Structure 1
Amino acid sequence: MSQQLSHDTISISKTIKAPAEQVFSAWENPKARSIWGAPSKDEAVEFIENDFRVGGLDVHRCGQKNDLQFRVETHYYDIRKPHRLLFTERVYTDDSLLSASLITVAISENKRATEFKVTIQITSLVGSGMIDGTRNGWQCALSNLTAYLEATRVEVK
């Protein structure tokens, strides 16, 4: 099978009625990420390793609940609590690299809510379908994050 190289930049912005610290905590806690990170009720995220620090590595498997076929390796390069994350993600199936991404999360708080923007610079080695799946997966996960935080929120003062 010949590999089809595709590139894109995905930007997703959300406003959450929760403090920036709470938004950031949902990123650094693997149990919380397992709850909000799966794009749908039929999918799951299972952490194998968690080392949330600059230079650290997280490893998780994801996919359909009965078939966690994707392995994701996340390397952290910059963590500025509660304002910014910079990390890479590599997605594999078996021993094949499917995509590599540079991801930035920018978080800012105003009086009533927290704004965050996720920018994903992705290279797919298997064509544009991987990019479309990444875009959809992140959009759904971030909508889940918003619902998760608003359900468990602490009032912003």
Structure 2
Amino acid sequence: MVAPIERQTLTIRRVLKAPPELVFDVWTQPEHMLRWFSPAESYTNPFIEVDLRVGGAYRIAFLSPEGVQSIVGGRYLEIARPDKLVFSWKWEDHDRFGDHETTVSLEFNACDEGTELVMNHEGLPVGPMLEEHNWGWQGTLRRLEKALAAT
């Protein structure tokens, strides 16, 4: 009998110096996402596709500095601009990332400094996948902060 996979929720909070409406839009519009949605400056996005409606799909391609392309996609489960965004998250490369579908929920809370972003990435397998996603999200959110400062 195979033991069940232990899963965990990755929670990250950031205060961003922009209003919730802008943060939400920069998170959901491909022309903005192309400027920041990757874990490091050395990565590029060959494409970002967004069908922003409940049940609509998205796909994001990442190209590493070594030339390795990875694609993640999913469906939008909840859209409440500018307060909340929920979507499924699944890598297309099952050999590298497994066949795990997880859920990402974002809350965009107005605060004195702008927006408190609360991200919960639920259902990540404990171990390397959780660690890789923590690294990826931390870098991606740093890039989001820079993109918002330049907007």
When the two structures are superposed, what TM-score results if normalisation uses the length of structure 1? Answer: 0.83
Q: What's the offset of the Cα at 1:19? A: 1.0
Find the aligned partners of 1:77 and 1:89 in 2 and give their Cα distance: 11
- Unaligned 5+ segments in structure 1 are 153-157
Tell me which residue corresponds to 1:82. 82
Q: What's the offset of the Cα at 1:10? A: 0.4
Offset from partner CA, 1:9-51 (integer Å, 9 cap, x none): 1000011111111101111111221211111122122335321
Q: What's the offset of the Cα at 1:71? A: 1.7
Task: Report the CA distance shift for 1:140/1:96 in structure 2 as closer, same or farther (over 3 A).
Answer: closer
TM alignment of 1:35-74, pairs within 5 A: 35-47=35-47, 49-65=49-65, 67-74=67-74
TM alignment of 1:114-133, pairs within 5 A: 114-124=115-125, 128-133=127-132
SS of aligned partner of 1:131: helix
Tell me which residue corresponds to 1:104. 105
Find out whether 1:147 has 2:146 as its counterpart.
yes
Question: 2:46–2:63: 8 Å Cα contact kept in structure 1?
Answer: no
Identity of paired residues, percent? 26
More strand by share: 1
Q: What's the offset of the Cα at 1:108? A: 1.1
Question: 2:78–2:85: 8 Å Cα contact kept in structure 1?
Answer: yes
Offset from partner CA, 1:71-128 (integer Å, 9 cap, x none): 211210100000000111001216776232111100111343111100001334xx72
When the two structures are superposed, what TM-score results if normalisation uses the length of structure 2? Answer: 0.86
The root-mean-square deviation of aligned C-alpha atoms, in Å, is 2.2
- Unaligned 5+ segments in structure 2 are none
SS of aligned partner of 1:43: coil
Find the aligned partners of 1:56 and 1:27 in 2 and give their Cα distance: 15
SS of aligned partner of 2:52: coil
